[in-house]
Structure 1
Amino acid sequence: MTVGRRLLLATVCAVAVATVYVAQPVLAQIGRDLGVPEAALGWIVTAGQVGYLVGLAFLVPLGDMLDRRKLIAGHLLLAAVGMLLAAVAAQLWFLLAGLAVAGLFAVVVQTTVAFAADLSPVAERGRTLGIVTSGVITGILGARVLAGGLAGLWGWRSVYVALALLLVVLALLVLKLLPADPRSAHATYGGVLLSLVRLFRERLFLSRGLLAFFLFASFGTLWSGLALPLAAEPWHLSPAQIGLFGVAGLAGALGAARAGTWADAGHTNLVTGGALALLAVSWWASGQASWSLWLVVAGVLVLDFAVQAVHVSSQHVLTAAYAHRTSSVIGGYMLFYSLGSALGATATTAVYSAVGWAGSAILGAAFAVCGLVVWAVNQRVAARLRQDVPA
């Protein structure tokens, strides 16, 4: 696959996923403009995430039936419609509807990742996945910077207008620059959904799914809770200053793009185990937010490196093992990701309010250790199964 195609697919992932996360830095501004009470602001973020979860289950499997070039372009355009609805909303319910639509079709990310895996030669699949999925982390973390800058200049509505325009441009580029993806198999929608359900009974898929669950629970614990100790004593950082910590996370995540190359060389299990250990250790540094910002920066960098390394390795393993239904397997895998992220985001604020940031750090490390246990158990089971196979 050419560098240009990889960069286009990575950009599609970045912009699409940004539609789900871009509301977080401008919640207060939206609340003042629409008269939304503070207690209800959480629904603005939740709406997009609920739409995304539904899309993972019911839209991503379409990639195993339809031309993915056209499917990606269509989903990008429909996500743009959701962004435009949000941009013109005068009432909360209308805003939530627009964000839910955008979140529903933001699952174009997973269709794009699956398409990238299939377009790439087997020997370069890991490298391609490393580059393309780096777009996801770039979108999640970069959305905060983009939203803060645009909202400061032209208000929160400009954020959604800008994303809508980018989505339309990307849809046109996808149709122009990516190859057609004809589907020879006559799969039915019901059959594809049934195959997705059956995946949950397979050891490889389930183990990698559980890794994603604990991995992104740890990720969500950090990024949904870190602003709390940074805004409190003794730092009292502003939202703009807190947003700069996303740069450290972005650097760590982009550094892990090399994990795809390691996966191509056959080191996926070693990378997975090592990165999960790093993830657990990173929480010692992130947990020192009460007295050292530099340790927090180091912890953020290492955490995002570890998360991205495991994420790329898992997608490499799954797309290789299920090459005939990459869209379904990526969609199912990302269901674990979404549930883990939601758990981390919900738990960290509750723990912080009860025992402070030290408690959140212990929680995040515990999620990482759970992931490490899943990896170790799966390694032992796989070794035992290999011994039982007759020579």
Structure 2
Amino acid sequence: MAEEHRTTSEFDARTAPTAADQVPVLANGQMWRVTVSALWSAVSSAWGRSLALAADAAAGRSLLGLGTAATTAASDYATAAQGARADTALQPGGLATVATTGAYGDLTGLPTLGTAALASVDAFDPAGSAAGAVSAHATTFNHTTLPTADQAAALAGANAPDAGNVFATMADIGASGGGTVTSVSITGADGIQVASGSPVTTSGTIALGLDTAALATHLGLGTAATTAASDYATAAQGARADSALQPGGLATVATTGAYGDLIGRPTLGTAAGAAVADFATAAQGGRADSAIQPGGNAALALIDYTLARFAVTAANVATAHTVALSDGEYQALTLTADIALTLPDPPAGRGYSITLRLIQDATGGRTPTLQQADATVAKWVGGAAPTWQTAAGAGDLVAVTHDGADLIAAHIGSVS
């Protein structure tokens, strides 16, 4: 009898198959008939459920105990080299304050500087004379042995009674056929293992399971596969670890904060630790510049002082005249009338002496009176004013002293 070959599409569709309906199944290179009931028993077994879970990627990962890192790329994590650098990276707590502020005042061990810190003592005269680090990173994962999206979708529908065609390869079959299965055995590999029931020689159930450790090895999973992505540094964090400042890139002062570890420190003079009060002021220095210096200039300065002090001042005076001490300590005054000579009061606590030569003019007969600024008449040594020379051109020499209270006069003698 000739075989009639038809394609699957040529068969009538059965929208509600029953448990007794038969479907073709391809096994060991041969086509077999199996009832929907028997097929359902197979796909609902532990073996079938395991395959279904493996076909569902999320369920499969959960079955394997994988963490969220299992579905991420290795490039999402820091490398081992970056982790090593992160381990040795300097943390903020290891830095001295000055490393982040750069402020001189944040240095430790600063010298105690005076206000004359940058000067040398030789320039003055003495006054009066220093997060946890990443320790691991993700390995790569090989997911090439997981079911494809189409396979996962097909396996996901295998639990339905009408989905027998998931495990059956439909083929053109003849109008008749038959055969006998004498023994069915199943072996597992790459994480799929036979739990019980193999081989089946007449009837029975073969139970399959998963060896998660073997399957993980088959998939090439590392220990990071069962950990969460949040356990690792991100690629961005790894990049920052690469550029992080390592201890060898810091100046010594960054971790010690010591003034002595600075380079390019200012060269301080011996006056650096002294106070301004230890030295003469600029004004005092100016006076020192103009002061009489030892040596030949001393005699000249003394002579200048003496000559100025005893400069001879001559003047014609009449009626009233106030003697100016700035005109010198010896003054020759020609009297042109009877006159009151007023001598100024000295500063408080001070006094002075001056010598006056009182000369009669061509007329003669002039009588002088000596008095203080308040018109108090001078006190004469001997108790009374002298008898004045009255001849034309004649004169008297008088020494006058003011002790701050009284004006005291002494007639030295007559001078013709």
Report the TM-score when normalising by structure 2: 0.17
Between structures 1 and 2, the one with greater helix share: 1
Q: Which has the larger radius of gyration?
A: 2
Structure possessing the higher relative contact order (Cα contacts under 8 Å, 6 or more residues apart):
1
Between structures 1 and 2, the one with greater strand share: 2
